[in-house]
């Protein structure tokens, strides 16, 4: 925190000393002033982005978890889909965006698909890793006490993967805000992304910065929200600690 | 009564068990010692139905139980407690796989062994010895006709180990169910068991069997008796023969 304050100070001082024009790089004080002044017009945009990001994240997490479970539990599905999944990870989502708009128009659906796609991979990969990390001795123990395959999964591998799942969701949460903003660039009525494009075309660099800071804050907020959920769900160890192997 | 009848087991070309036969009477405590890698854990996997027999039969009260899981009680070398479950929820795990668990019985046993204050604690809050007690209680509460214990104390430090042996003797003497106990320690076998079975090195079969004559309830004193020393010497000779045989 202190370091961030320090950086802001340097920024402020160098902008003033070098007399950089404010449409090129506004000083933090100017950005802050703009933020408070245009709060009323800006706030609805922020709310729109939050809604979009949360909805997309939720759907992305649910899809990611379902796919991870399917891939983990059914070997033939895994052999079929996993290579495709890894390959498709290399396609930047941005490239797909124009296509999605051609196919689905400017409504909510293509935007949700973009966010979903962005959130999907970190969840699938982290979840599958979590399943695979279940110690062999625990799996052996479950077999010895006569657990069925589905009991082995739901009572052992699934809860064992919680910490891994949550680290995936944390990454996905930050991505979801970015995904939402990108989706809004491509066409929307409201949202931080829209606000950014408008400000940019009228050279209101201060407003662009307001939007950037809003995005950073939102990402952080979502991150801590997920951390909170993690602390509620992951029992027996502090958050951020994977279960130790004996 | 558990009846091991002339069983064979090999993994690919590696013959691990050959013509092994013995039995455990109701209410009898039988210890098995044998060289490392002789197939003791494999024997438990066969009894537990986790791996399949090549030849022979395993009968429990006259009924063949090979390939049948969840018939025996099992306690492994590591406590294998689930870190996200409270102690109480860990104790009822095995029962939970089959039917509604008997909470009262679980609490009663935790109480009996002085762990009632830890019912709602998580495994990482307990010492290694305490975790092994919980693991043993879990096997008892699962309420199976025979308990199979695979080197349950070998991961503990020497002092805790002696403490746990004394604890197990007194706990078992009030409980008196059939126990099959694998160990590497001659003294442990003599102190705990009614009968000690010595296995040959791989492929395992019965090398010798000795009755342990000490009356119950047993106390630490027997460790210093002449009989104890003599039996210890005898078992040591058997094991040494196996170690240098070829
Ligand atoms: N699934 C398996 N596939 C192939 N070989 C195996 C398998 N399980 C065990 N073995 C081999 O069988 C032999 C006996 O193993 P086992 O674990 O039963 O020995 P053990 O008597 O329990 O040894 P220790 O005293 O070290 O615990 C070992 O040589 C081991 O490598
Ligand atoms: Mg073993």
Start-to-end CA distance of chain A, whole Å, equals 37
Residue A185 has pLDDT above 90, yes or no: no
Domain B1-72+146-153+161-246 has CATH 3.20.20.80: no
Measured between CA atoms, the residue of chain A closest to residue B138 is: A145
Task: Convert the pLDDT of each residue in A206-216 to its tens digit.
Answer: 889 999 999 99
Task: Convert the pLDDT of each residue in A120-154 to its tens digit.
Answer: 889 999 999 999 999 999 999 999 999 999 999 99
Q: What is the pTM of this model?
A: 0.87
Nearest CA of chain A to the CA of B123: how many Å? Answer: 7
Residue A240 has pLDDT above 70, yes or no: no
Check residue A29 and give its pLDDT: 85
Task: Give the SS3 label for residue A145.
Answer: coil
> What ipTM, to 2 d.p.?
0.92
Q: What is the DSSP letter of A157?
A: I
Domains with residue ranges and CATH for chain A: 34-233 (1.10.3720.10)
Nearest to B74 among A145, A148, A159 (CB): A145
Q: Which ligand is nearest to the CA of B32?
A: 1
Residue A238 has pLDDT above 90, yes or no: no
Lookup: tokens for A92: 């930047």
Could you tell me where the DSSP H helices lie in A74-204? 75-88, 93-104, 108-132, 136-144, 149-151, 158-160, 162-185, 192-201
Tell me the C-alpha distance between A228 and A224, whole Å.
6
Would you call A236 and B83 a contact, using CB atoms and an 8 Å cutoff? yes
Tell how far the Cα of B82 is from the centroid of ligand 1, in angstroms. Answer: 25
Tell me the C-alpha distance between B47 and A193, whole Å.
64
Confidence of residue B243 (pLDDT cuts 50, 70, 90): confident
What length is written for chain A? 246
Residue A246 has pLDDT above 50, yes or no: no
Give the distance, in angstroms, between the CA of residue B99 and the centroid of all CA atoms in the same chain.
Answer: 25
Contact B24, B30 (CB under 8 A): yes
Lookup: tokens for B59: 């009968």
Tell me the C-alpha distance between B243 and B246, whole Å.
9
Contact A111, A188 (CB under 8 A): yes
Residues in B whose CB is inside 8 Å of some CB of A read: 44-45, 48-50, 69-71, 74, 76, 78-80, 82-85, 93-94, 96-98, 122-124, 142, 155
Tell how far the Cα of B83 is from the centroid of ligand 2, in angstroms. Answer: 24
Task: Convert the pLDDT of each residue in B106-163 to its tens digit.
Answer: 999 999 888 999 999 999 999 888 999 999 999 999 889 999 999 999 888 888 899 8
Would you say the CB of residue B183 lies under 6 angstroms from ligand 1? no
Confidence of residue A243 (pLDDT cuts 50, 70, 90): low
Tell me the C-alpha distance between B44 and B180, whole Å.
9
Check residue B42 and give its pLDDT: 93
Task: Convert the pLDDT of each residue in B159-202 to its tens digit.
Answer: 889 989 999 999 899 888 899 999 999 999 999 999 999 999 88
Q: Which ligand is nearest to the CA of B50?
A: 1
Q: What is the DSSP letter of B50?
A: S
Minimum CA distance residue for ligand 1 atom 23: B37
Would you call A236 and B74 a contact, using CB atoms and an 8 Å cutoff? no
Selected residue of B84, B94, B142 to mutate for chain A interface (largest A Cβ count, 10 A): B84
Q: What is the DSSP letter of A245?
A: P
Tell me the C-alpha distance between B244 and B242, whole Å.
5
Angle CA A184–A190–A196, to nearest 5: 60
Minimum CA distance residue for ligand 1 atom 5: B11
Residue A241 has pLDDT above 60, yes or no: no
Measured between CA atoms, the residue of chain B closest to residue A157 is: B82
Give the number of other Cβ atoms within 10 Å of residue A189's Cβ.
9
Residue B240 has pLDDT above 70, yes or no: yes
Residues whose CB is less than 8 angstroms from the CB of residue B119 and which lie 6 or more positions away in sequence, other chains included: B86, B87, B88, B107, B110
Q: Does residue A143 belong to the interface with chain B, where contact is any CB pair within 8 Å? A: yes
Task: Give the SS3 label for residue B200.
Answer: coil
Tell me the C-alpha distance between A178 and A215, whole Å.
8
Pick the range with the lowest mean pLDDT from A92-96, A169-173, B205-209: A92-96
Pocket test for ligand 1, best of B18, B32, B33, B40 (most atoms within 8 A of CB): B40
Residue B225 has pLDDT above 80, yes or no: yes
Task: Give the SS3 label for residue B110.
Answer: helix
């Amino acid at each position: 925190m202190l370091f961030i304050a320090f950086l802001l100070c340097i920024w402020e001082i160098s902008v003033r000393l070098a007399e950089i024009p404010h449409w090129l790089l506004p000083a933090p004080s100017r950005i802050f002033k703009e933020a408070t002044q245009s709060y009323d017009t800006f706030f609805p945009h922020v709310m729109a982005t939050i809604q979009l990001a949360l909805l997309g994240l939720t759907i992305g997490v649910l899809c990611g978890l379902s796919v991870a479970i399917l891939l983990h539990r059914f070997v033939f599905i895994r052999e079929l889909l996993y290579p495709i999944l890894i390959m498709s990870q290399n396609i930047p989502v941005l490239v797909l965006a124009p296509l999605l708009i051609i196919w689905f128009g400017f409504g909510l659906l293509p935007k949700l698909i973009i966010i979903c796609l962005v959130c999907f991979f970190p969840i699938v990969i982290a979840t599958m890793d979590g399943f695979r990390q279940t110690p062999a001795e625990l799996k052996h123990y479950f077999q010895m006490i006569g657990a069925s395959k589905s009991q082995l999964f739901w009572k052992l591998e699934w809860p064992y993967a919680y910490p891994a799942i949550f680290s995936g969701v944390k990454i996905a949460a930050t991505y979801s805000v970015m995904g939402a903003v990108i989706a809004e660039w491509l066409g929307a009525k409201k949202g931080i992304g829209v606000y950014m494009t408008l400000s940019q075309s009228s050279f209101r660099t201060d407003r662009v910065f307001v939007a950037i800071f809003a995005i950073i804050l939102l990402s952080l907020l979502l991150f801590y929200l997920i951390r909170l959920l993690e602390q509620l769900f992951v029992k027996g160890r502090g958050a951020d600690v994977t279960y130790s192997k004996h | 009564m558990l009846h091991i009848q002339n069983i064979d087991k090999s993994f690919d070309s590696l013959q691990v068990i050959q013509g092994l036969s013995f039995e455990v009477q109701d209410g009898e405590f039988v210890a098995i010692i044998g060289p490392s890698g002789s197939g003791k854990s494999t024997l438990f996997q066969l009894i537990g139905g986790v791996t399949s027999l090549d030849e022979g039969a395993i009968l429990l009260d006259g009924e063949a139980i090979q390939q049948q899981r969840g018939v025996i009680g099992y306690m492994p070398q590591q406590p294998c407690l689930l870190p996200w479950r409270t102690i109480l929820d860990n104790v009822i795990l095995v029962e939970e796989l089959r039917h509604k668990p008997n909470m009262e019985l679980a609490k009663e046993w935790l109480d009996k062994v002085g762990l009632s204050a830890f019912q709602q604690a998580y495994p990482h809050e307990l010492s290694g010895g305490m975790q092994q007690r919980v693991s043993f209680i879990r096997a008892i509460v699962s309420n199976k006709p025979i308990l199979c214990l695979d080197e349950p104390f070998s991961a503990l430090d020497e002092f805790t180990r002696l403490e746990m042996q004394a604890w197990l003797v007194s706990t078992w003497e009030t409980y008196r169910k059939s126990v099959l106990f694998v160990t590497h320690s001659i003294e442990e076998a003599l102190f705990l068991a009614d009968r000690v079975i010595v296995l040959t090195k791989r492929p395992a079969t019965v090398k010798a069997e000795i009755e342990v004559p000490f009356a119950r309830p047993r106390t630490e004193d027997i460790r210093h008796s002449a009989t104890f020393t003599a039996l210890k010497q005898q078992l040591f000779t058997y094991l040494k023969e196996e170690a240098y045989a070829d």
